[in-house]
Amino acid sequence: MDDVLQEASLVMWRKIDQLQADDEFIPWARMVLRFEVLKYRRSCSRDRLLLDDDLVALIAIEAKDETSDYVQEQRTAIRACLGRFSPEHQKLLLAPYTREEAVKEMAEAAGKTANSLYKRLGRLRTKLHDCVRMQLGTTS
């Protein structure tokens, strides 16, 4: 099964330009993985130990529902935790996701080195991660 995941990852890298919006990544990745699993199942169709196609579809539907709820919980926790940071820290946390050079530009504007800002960003990400874990009640 690791081979299927690896192949799905490669397919996603090759087809990443098909992704139209960042928030569509999970459904898109799920679809790519589903097709890779189906392709793998076809290649192993002679094996009597495979699950029935209807059962696989049912498992996929249930997993999607659980994943969707969890993703929504994560988003809510992230928003709540981001709200606890100062506007300056929020801007720094979100900068790498806006433009590739955003952190460097922020460093220049503040008269600091990019390295120092990346170190601060790392510490802020750790605090954000810990806050989200607390919000979700997880320990991993």
Q: Where are the beta strands (DSSP E) in 1-139?
A: none
Q: So what's the pLDDT on residue 3? A: 82
Domain boundaries, the chain: 74-140
Q: Are 107 and 96 in contact (CB under 8 A)?
A: no
Q: 19-39, pLDDT tens digit by residue? A: 777 778 888 888 888 888 888
Q: Is 77 helix (H, G, I), strand (E, B) or coil?
A: helix
Q: So what's the pLDDT on residue 67? A: 65
Q: So what's the pLDDT on residue 48? A: 59
Q: So what's the pLDDT on residue 17? A: 82
Q: Are 50 and 44 in contact (CB under 8 A)?
A: yes
Domain range 74-140, CATH architecture: Orthogonal Bundle (1.10)
φ, ψ dihedrals at 34, nearest 5° = -60, -45
Half-sphere exposure (Cβ direction) of 136: Cα atoms closer than 13 Å: 20
CA distance 25 to 27: 6
Residues of the chain falling short of pLDDT 70? 1, 45-53, 63-67, 139-140
Q: So what's the pLDDT on residue 65? A: 63
